[in-house]
Each structure stands twice: as structure tokens, then as C-alpha cells.
Amino acid sequence: MPHRDRPAGQPVAPPTSQSRLYDEAVEAFGAAIERLARSYELDEHKRQDLLQNIHLNLWRSLDRFDGQCSLRTWVYRVAHNVAATHVMDERRRRSRPLVGLDDFEVRDAGIEPDADRGVLLSRLMELIERLRPLDRELVVLYLEGLSAAEIAEVVGISAGNVATRMGRVKKLLSQYANEGGRNAV
């Protein structure tokens, strides 16, 4: 089927370096971008808008990619910046404050100690979703396999700060998991 914007028989232009980089980035990190967007936006429709915005900004940014960092870092940095802007915009629209690691209150979550692993994982995701965006992003990037130094480069804080925050998050999640989900944030 001929392309609408191009007369039949006219050759297709070869993909640009920007397009090739975008295709490479989406192939390598597309699923991670979706997980990152899911960690920032729970509403399916808003998440799709966020994903589209991340992809658009990623494609636009790749004409400035100079290789001074890895493509992986570049992709996460763009996704982080777009998602952070999205969160700030959404925060202005809603009144429910986000919880920081230092503000957690422990209360009964209503899960039995021998709860199904799926139930426990679901509760852990709920716990992660209640974190402030930066703390939530740190967890997601950590789960994606990035080192503290790589996470620091993506989010723009020191590696030591990343390690400290991740230590708190891991301790909290570990405590929650070891207690069988009896306590939650």
C-alpha cells in the first residue's frame, strides 16, 4: 500500500541518525520506559499520555545525543525529566500529598502472614506507589539494574544520596515483606 504523503513509486528516504538511535533506544529500553511510566502514573489514560510524551521528547532529544554518556543513561534521563514534569503538573491538580521516606507511618495492612506471594507483591507495589516520585523512581531504576552511580547520573543527585535513600527503601520493604505484610505505610 503506497504511503499517503508520498506519490507512488517515490523512494523512501533512509532513516536519519536520530531515527536509528530512537529505534535502538525503544528496542533496548522500551519496556523499561513503560515500567518507569507505570511507577509515575497509575491512571491508564494518563499513563498512555505520559508514555507518548516520553517517546516524543526522547525522539526530539536524540538529535543532541553526543555519546558523552551511554544511550541507556540518556533514555532514563529524558524519561525522568518528562515524568518529573508530569508529576509536578499532576500535583498541582490534586490535593493528596505524597509521602516521603521519612514520613512513613506504620499501620495494619490486613494481610495474613502466610499470604499468597501475589498478594504480598501487590501490597509492595502499593507501598512503592505511595512514595514520593524521586524515591519511587530510585526504586524503579534500581529494579531495572542500574547502579547507584548510574541512578545518580539519571536523577541528578549524588551516588551517596542514592545509596542512602535506597538503603532506607530496602529496609522498609524488607521489613514489610518479612513481617508478612502485617504492617504497611
Q: What is the pLDDT of residue 99?
A: 52
Tens of pLDDT, residue by residue, the chain (185 residues)? 344 454 555 554 456 788 899 999 999 999 999 998 988 888 899 999 999 999 999 999 999 999 899 999 999 999 999 998 888 887 777 654 555 554 444 333 444 545 566 676 677 777 777 777 788 888 888 888 888 889 988 888 898 999 888 888 878 777 766 665 454 44
Q: How far is CA 161 from its chain centroid?
A: 18
The pLDDT, as a whole number, for residue 120 is 66
**pTM as predicted:** 0.56
Beta bridge partners of 107: 184
Supply 113's cell numbers: 502472614
The Cα–Cα gap between 32 and 165 comes to 21
- Cell 502466610 -> residue: 114
Structural domains of the chain, with CATH: 15-96 (1.10.1740.10), 98-185 (1.10.10.10)
Query: pLDDT value at position 113?
Result: 47
**pLDDT on residue 90:** 77
Q: Are 73 and 153 in contact (CB under 8 A)?
A: yes
Q: What is the pLDDT of residue 177?
A: 60
Beta bridge partner(s), residue 183: 108
pLDDT at 94: 66
